[in-house]
Amino acid sequence: MPQQSAPNYHTEFSPPVGVAESVAPFVERIVAPNASAYTFTGTNCFLVGQDELAIIDPGPDVQVHINAIDKALDGRKVNAILLTHTHRDHSAVAPKLAQKYGVPLMFGGPHRPSRDLKFFEIDPMKRSGHYGLQPDRALKQGDIIRLGAVQIEAIETPGHCANHLCFALSDRAHIFTGDHVMGWNSTLIADPDGALGPYLDSLDMLMSCPGQIYLPAHGDRIMNGKGFAKALKGHRLQRNTQILEILKSNGPLSAWQLTDKMYPDVSMAVRGAALLTVKAHLHFLMEHSKIGRRGRLFRQPLYAAR
Which residue in 21, 22, 20, 26 sits closest to 170, CA to CA? 26
Considering the domain delimited by 21-233, tell me its CATH architecture: 4-Layer Sandwich (3.60)
- CA pair distance 202, 3, nearest whole angstrom: 26
CA dihedral in degrees (227, 228, 229, 233; nearest 10)?
100
* pLDDT tens, position by position, 288-303: 999 999 987 778 899 9
Q: What is the pTM of this model?
A: 0.95
- DSSP one-letter code for 234: H
Query: Could you tell me the fold of the domain covering 235-305?
Result: Arc Repressor Mutant, subunit A (1.10.10)
Confidence category of residue 3, pLDDT binned at 50, 70, 90: very low
Q: Are strands 165-169 and 150-156 parallel, antiparallel or unpaired?
A: antiparallel
**Which amino acid, one-letter code, is at 63?**
Q
- In contact, 56 and 30? CB cutoff 8 Å: no
C-alpha closest to that of 258 among 223, 305, 214, 199 = 305
Is there a contact between 117 and 124 (Cβ–Cβ < 8 Å)? no
- Residue range(s) in the chain whose domain bears CATH number 3.60.15.10: 21-233
Average pLDDT, the chain: 95
CB 93 within 8 Å of CB 70: no
**Region(s) of the chain under CATH 1.10.10.10:** 235-305
Cα distance from N-terminal residue to C-terminal residue, the chain: 20
| 5 pLDDT tier (thresholds 50, 70, 90) | low
Write the pLDDT tens digit of every residue in 110-145.
Answer: 999 999 998 888 899 999 999 999 999 999 999 999
3-state SS class at 151: strand
Summarised one tens digit per residue, pLDDT across range 195-239 is 999 999 999 999 999 999 999 999 999 999 999 999 999 999 999
Q: What is the mean pLDDT of residues 93-121?
A: 96
Name which of 239, 291, 292 is nearest 261 in CA terms: 239
